[in-house]
Structure 1
Amino acid sequence: MRSSMLDVRTSPDGSVVIHPHGSVGPDDAVELRQVLVHTVRRVRPLRMIVDLADVAELDPINLGSVVAVCGLGDDHRVAVFVDNPNNHLAAQLHAAGVPSQRLRACVPVSSH
């Protein structure tokens, strides 16, 4: 799947990787939430990875969707990880309830 802000692929080990790009704002909320929920509830991979390497910021709605899908994954026996958030996003996600063991390879915020 390819859209203006989101790639979804299955890695060789069967993990589904959801890779949003840029600043993910309110206009992207429905698409991101639908992909996250569909992947956990219908695809049900052993592992889902939300790769935030190319995301500068998440608005509160999308941040909440990422946090909520971690709990939804637990309910459906899908391990959900958030990879490569910048330090600011990692701090926001952790403060919103994402356990630190789900946040992997945090990257420093780039200064322009």
Structure 2
Amino acid sequence: MAGATVAVDTNSDGTLVIRPHGSLDVDDAVDLRRTVVRAIRHDRPLRLVIDLREVHRLDPINVGTFAAACNLGDDQCVAVFLDHPSTTIANQLVTAGIPAHRLRHIGTGHD
């Protein structure tokens, strides 16, 4: 990813956690989408958490990736949550149609 990196870990309870860092822009879209789709379709954890604590900026393409991840997760029986978004990013996500119950710990990321 050009302006960002992504770490993927599995918690002891089986939750898969994707942790992007930095600014997620159009140059990051393909790699981020592949990471998220692979997690949902191939790894198929019971829960997928996308930890946005270290995300400084999120462009519309990647907002769409997260919205699609929630829908794909529903189709694949994977609960998808977006944790620690800044207030600004949380507003972007809700405006894009991501249900508020998917967002947890709002305001604990970068603002």
User: Which TM class, normalised by the smaller chain length?
Assistant: over 0.9
Task: Show the counterpart of 2:86.
Answer: 86
Using the aligned pairs only, state the percent identity: 48
Q: Distance in 2 between matches of 1:60 and 1:101?
A: 20
Taking structure 2 as the reference length, the TM-score comes to 0.92
Segments of 5+ residues of structure 2 without an aligned counterpart are: none
Task: Show the counterpart of 2:40.
Answer: 40
Q: Distance in 2 between matches of 1:44 and 1:12?
A: 15
Aligned AA (2:81): F
Q: Distance in 1 between matches of 2:89 and 2:71?
A: 18
Q: What RMSD in Å do the two structures reach over aligned CA positions?
A: 1.4
Segments of 5+ residues of structure 1 without an aligned counterpart are: none
Divergent runs of 4+, >2 A: 108-111
Deviation for aligned residue 1:56: 1.0
Secondary structure in 2 matching 1:63: helix
Equivalent residues of 2:26, 2:59 under 8 A apart = yes
- Tell me: CA distance 1:110–1:6, structure 2 relative to 1, closer, same or farther (3 Å): closer
